């Protein structure tokens, strides 16, 4: 008689639990734009949701503590002239958020701790460099003020938002870019594209360092993210439109480490990855479930754990950074599910009887302090994220204002040539003198005053330079 050996894992019994009704956020008109982004971004202080808006694009920012029914007078963030397509919180400053829109711009916003009553319409910096709509915006994981944008012009631009200038531009993609994901230290990023290729790019060398044609056989959109080990986790479709996930080693793209078929559905699977637990959560738009998997070093490498199911389909999803989870309840992840008119928090918890801090569940995680300055990263230096302990729970850092020091573009312009009219001595005369001369000639011109012959200039209006002639 053979006994099946159960795989040992402390995450094997993770379960999801939706928050109570009073812990949700109601009366939110979630955007209906047809774009495969998450429409939601969350950090330990704020929840941001892209919403329906007339006369341009807008998104809503709520303090996490402001649960319940949304006040109708709550201000929106309204600066874009077209629908907002993507938003992302800065990992190094919980009050800074980036957005991008169909109006071809990306904007960076400073969100105050105390929201007033007036809409926020003035960004701290506007990033203009794309010729078509901008659909992706994502911050660098370790370097301060480095932001990546990708647009429908197939262009990727990396910005220093502290100066408002574009540092790097890459045009290696021949078609629409589906998603962009940085690796753990921000030395590389991966992209998926409508040409069905998965690429790994080195932005500072401005080149594609690895490439795989059709990691999934289907023609529908793919997604890819880096794992903490440097491998790539992808979601896509088979030829028969079945949803599929894969794990790849970018140094040898010929064969996948793992390839697993899931189900038949139209929704694109959005992966959310937790590097501390090496778990990935798959959320499909239009689905009413969240599947989660653990990635390990032993076969089959991607282990299915469980599924959280609910009745209503999801319009989008937000993923809380590990700094914001409740360690006293053994919560290892928290997702924010968007419905048509509300947002619902879902806690992923490891069942433990003890109320003490669980060291094995909470290794030191990425903190809010950047490891690099923009100049250091641009010069080729790489650093892993600065880590912090979760033993004392979330301690909000002091609000830091992002100061933008734009370079003066006038300093780099060539000196303007002097016009021909300024070459004579009359250029140095006062304006009143020149005006008097003009009025004299106009009044005494035969066409204006035919009864008055043209009289010469009076001596008081003759300039010294013309007397010498």
CB 191: neighbour CB atoms within 10 A? 23
230: phi then psi, degrees, rounded to nearest 5: 90, 0
> Where are the alpha helices (H) located in 355-430, listed in sequence order?
374-378
pLDDT for residue 361: 95
Q: Which residues contact 269 (CB under 8 A, 6 or more apart)?
A: 223, 235, 243, 245, 262, 282, 283, 284
User: Which is more confident, 48 or 400?
Assistant: 48
Mean pLDDT along residues 340-369: 94
Q: What integer pLDDT is reported at residue 7 of this predicted model? A: 83
Query: 145 falls in which pLDDT band (50, 70, 90)?
Result: very high
Mean pLDDT of 337-356: 93
What's the confidence (pLDDT) of residue 425? 41
- Tokens in use for 374? 């923009």
Q: Would you say residue 324 has pLDDT above 70?
A: yes
Statement: residue 429 has pLDDT above 60: no
Residue 129: pLDDT band (50, 70, 90) is very high
What does the pLDDT look like over 4-24, one tens digit per residue?
567 889 999 999 999 999 999
pLDDT for 353 beyond 90:
no
Q: What's the chain's length in residues?
A: 469
Residue 1 pLDDT grade (very low, low, confident, very high; cuts 50, 70, 90): very low
Give the per-residue pLDDT at 409.
37
What pLDDT, on the 0 to 100 scale, is given for residue 404? Answer: 75
- Residues 6+ positions from 196 with CB-CB distance below 8 Å: 213, 214, 219, 222
Distance of CA 415 to the CA centre of its chain: 38
The predicted pLDDT at position 466 comes to 46
Q: What tokens were used for 415?
A: 């000196």
Q: Where does the pLDDT of residue 407 fall: very low under 50, low under 70, confident under 90, or very high at 90 and above?
A: low
Evaluate whether 47 touches 40 at the Cβ level (below 8 Å): yes
Q: What is the pLDDT of residues 242-287, one digit of tens each?
A: 999 999 999 999 999 999 999 988 899 999 999 999 999 999 989 9
Mean pLDDT, rounded, for 223-230: 97
Between 215 and 403, the more confident residue is: 215
Q: Which two tokens stand for residue 192?
A: 């998926």
Query: Which pLDDT belongs to residue 417?
Result: 31
Q: Indicate the helix (H) or strand (E) that contains 159.
A: strand 156-160
- The 8 Å CB, 24+ separation contacts for 202-208 are 203/148, 203/156, 203/158, 203/168, 203/170, 204/168, 204/377, 204/378, 204/380, 206/168, 206/170, 207/172, 208/172
Percentage of the chain beyond pLDDT 90 is: 76
pLDDT at 117: 85
Cα 247 to Cα 122, 284, 340, 415, distances in angstroms? 42, 18, 33, 57
- 374-395 pLDDT, tens digit per residue, is 999 999 999 999 999 999 877 7
Average pLDDT over residues 53-62: 90
Q: Exposed (0-12), middle (13-18) or buried (19+): which is 10, by Cβ within 10 Å?
A: middle
Q: Helix or strand or coil: residue 444? A: helix
Question: Residues 427-438, buried b or exposed e (16+ Cβ, 10 A)?
Answer: eeeeeeeeeeee
Contacts of 2 by beta carbon, 8 Å cutoff, 6+ apart: none
pLDDT at site 469: 43
Which region among 79-83, 114-118, 157-161, 393-397 has the lowest average model confidence (pLDDT)? 393-397
Is a pLDDT exceeding 80 seen at residue 229? yes
pLDDT of residue 272: 98
pLDDT tens for each residue of 431-453? 455 556 555 555 565 544 555 45
Sequence-ordered list of residues with C-beta below 8 angstroms from that of 375, at least 6 positions apart, any chain: none
In degrees, to the nearest 5, what angle opens at C-alpha 82 toward C-alphas 81 and 87? 105
User: What number is the average pLDDT over the span 343-366?
Assistant: 94
Cα–Cα nearest to 250, from 267, 237, 233, 235:
233
Query: For residues 168 and 35, which has the higher predicted lDDT (pLDDT)?
Result: 168
What pLDDT score does 464 carry? Answer: 46
Instruction: Examine the pLDDT at 415 and tell me if it is beyond 80.
Output: no
Confidence of residue 2 (pLDDT cuts 50, 70, 90): very low
pLDDT digits (tens, 9 = 90+) for 183-209: 999 999 999 999 999 999 999 999 999
> For all residues of the chain together, what is the average pLDDT?
87
Reply yes or no on whether the pLDDT at 95 is more than 50: yes
The three-state (H, E, C) secondary structure of 137-151, written as one string: EEECCCECCEEEEEE
DSSP codes of every residue in 89-119: E-TT-TTEEEEEETTSEEEEEE--SS--SS-
Q: Provide the 3-class DSSP secondary structure of residue 200.
A: strand
């Amino acid at each position: 008689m053979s006994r099946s050996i159960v795989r040992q894992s402390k995450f094997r019994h993770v379960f999801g639990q939706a928050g109570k009704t009073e812990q949700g956020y109601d009366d939110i008109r979630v955007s209906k734009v047809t774009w495969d982004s998450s429409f939601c971004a969350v950090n330990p202080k704020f929840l941001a949701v892209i919403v329906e808006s007339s006369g341009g694009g807008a998104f809503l920012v709520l303090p996490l503590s402001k649960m319940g029914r949304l006040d109708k007078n709550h201000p929106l963030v309204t600066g874009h002239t077209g629908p907002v397509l993507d938003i992302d919180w800065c990992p190094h400053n919980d009050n800074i958020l980036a957005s991008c829109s169909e109006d071809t711009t990306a904007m960076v916003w400073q969100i105050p701790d105390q929201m007033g009553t007036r809409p926020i319409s003035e960004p701290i910096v506007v990033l203009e460099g794309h010729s078509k709509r901008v659909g992706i915006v994502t911050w660098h994981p370790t370097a301060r003020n480095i932001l990546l944008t990708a647009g429908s012009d197939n262009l990727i631009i990396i910005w220093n938002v502290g100066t408002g200038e574009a540092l790097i531009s890459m045009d290696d993609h021949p078609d629409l870019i589906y998603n962009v994901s940085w690796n753990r230290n921000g030395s590389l990023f991966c992209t998926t594209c409508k040409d069905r290729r998965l690429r790994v790019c080195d932005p500072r060398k401005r080149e594609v360092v690895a490439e795989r044609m059709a990691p999934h056989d289907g023609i529908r959109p793919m997604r890819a993210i880096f794992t903490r080990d440097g491998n790539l986790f992808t979601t896509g479709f088979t030829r028969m439109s079945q949803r599929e996930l894969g794990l790849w080693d970018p140094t040898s793209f010929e064969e996948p480490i793992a390839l697993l078929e899931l189900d038949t559905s139209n929704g694109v699977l959005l992966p959310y990855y937790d590097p501390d637990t090496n778990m990935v959560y798959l959320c499909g738009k239009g689905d009413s479930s969240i599947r989660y998997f653990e990635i390990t070093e032993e076969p089959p490498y991607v282990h299915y754990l469980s599924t959280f199911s609910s009745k209503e389909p999801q319009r989008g999803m937000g993923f809380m950074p590990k700094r914001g989870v409740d360690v006293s309840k053994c919560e290892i992840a928290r997702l924010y599910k968007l419905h048509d008119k509300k947002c619902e928090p879902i806690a992923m918890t490891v069942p433990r009887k003890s109320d003490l801090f669980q060291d094995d569940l909470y290794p030191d995680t990425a903190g809010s302090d950047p490891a690099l300055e923009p100049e250091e990263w641009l010069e080729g230096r790489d650093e892993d994220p600065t880590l912090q302990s979760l033993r004392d729970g979330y301690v909000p850092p002091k609000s830091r204002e992002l100061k933008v020091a734009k370079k003066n573009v006038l300093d780099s312009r060539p000196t303007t040539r002097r016009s021909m009219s300024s070459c004579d001595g009359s250029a140095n005369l006062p304006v009143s003198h020149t005006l008097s001369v003009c009025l004299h000639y106009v009044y005494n011109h035969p066409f204006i005053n035919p009864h008055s012959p043209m009289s010469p200039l009076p001596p008081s209006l003759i300039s010294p330079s013309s007397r010498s002639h």
